[in-house]
Amino acid sequence: MAIERTLSIIKPDATRRNLTGKINAKFEDAGLRIVAQKRIHLSLAQAQKFYAVHAERPFFAELTEFMASEPVVVQVLEGEGAIAKNREVMGATNPANADAGTIRKEFALSVGENSVHGSDAPETAAEEIAFFFSGLELVG
């Protein structure tokens, strides 16, 4: 499988509880390399733009207000099959359905406050990385 890059976000419920290091250890233990990372505070407009694909969903306001509520850590993860591997390490969207050992099983508070975001396909990974990082911030 090819070396890929994917966009990860450590969400406000996790940054608030000081879990960035524990979550990063899960990525590294799975063979994912953190090749870019920064802490930012999204505006509501930026959160709405990032999650525009969900604009018609009933939870859109809850989701975007949550994502803009406190700082997040945005990061680029790299590795063999990184997009699917990251989704495995994250676990199911609803922590009640997440497998043991996954980030969401161990740390998520609810389906909304579920600790991490991860890109779901090569096209969205490329778009989401470009949303947050400039070429200068992405070391080859």
Residue with tokens 């407009």: 45
Give residues with Cβ within 8 angstroms of 134, minimum separation 6: none
Residue with token string 């879990």 = 19
33 is in an annotated binding site: no
**CB of residue 14 vs ligand DAT: minimum separation in angstroms?**
12
Query: Mapping DSSP to helix (H, G, I), strand (E, B) and coil, where does residue 30 land?
Result: coil
Q: Which C-beta is closer to ligand DAT: that of 119 or that of 136?
A: 119
| Residue ranges with strand state E in 11-107 | 33-40, 72-80
54 tagged catalytic: no
Nearer to ligand DAT, 24 or 64 (CB): 64
The annotation status of 85 as a binding-site residue, yes or no, is no
Q: List residues binding ligand DAT (CB under 6 A).
A: 54, 59, 62-63, 93, 111-112, 114, 117, 120
Query: Residue 60, annotated ligand binder?
Result: no
The two three-digit tokens of residue 90, written as one number: 């994250």
Q: Which residues are catalytic?
A: 117
Feature table: binding site for ATP: 11, 59, 87, 93, 104, 114
